Structure 1
């Protein structure tokens, strides 16, 4: 007698494999998103906490045109940033984060269309 509770159909296995690939793509997006970027030779962190800090500093710079801040860079040194530089960096960080989400969306759309995808290829950075 067949124990049907142990039988996994090909369709069920395919869906399990697709979900695992979707999870891998999301994890790879998070990794790329948090990898950091370089702006004018300055190493800039792009993890969730750094994004929040840059967004807050950018708001301060928008409210006060004379705002400047000593920012700790990725190499541990401090650099005086003007309000315009802060806004520029915050915009670049945001663009990097969005590019990572866009890549994830493209990969998932290709996967849903039945195309082969490489979760390691094409990430911003």
Structure 2
């Protein structure tokens, strides 16, 4: 996966290396959910059908589109948080869910204060489209 020149990624001391990306230095707090960085990437051992479904009480879906990432089925969703859960009410998120045969790759950016949400959405699009999986 490629990311913009000049951006940095996390060192791996709190979460696995290369899971968080930002144009500024990254300082992840221990045992904390941080939403202040531009882009988050992770793989969950949860089936695609479960995490990519529309029925979600923690957010209101604003848009959804089907796509593929390096031949794998994927969906791109933009949500607005309801305030139930970790994300404050009204915060938008832009997510990719990629079906990796029993696991799901999730790429996310959040419209948090101080972030350039539209730019980060474009960067996430570019990062996801640059993915190439070893099969």
Q: Report the TM-score when normalising by structure 1.
A: 0.26
Q: Which has the higher strand share?
A: 2
Q: Report the TM-score when normalising by structure 2.
A: 0.24
Q: Which has the higher helix share?
A: 1
Larger Rg: 1
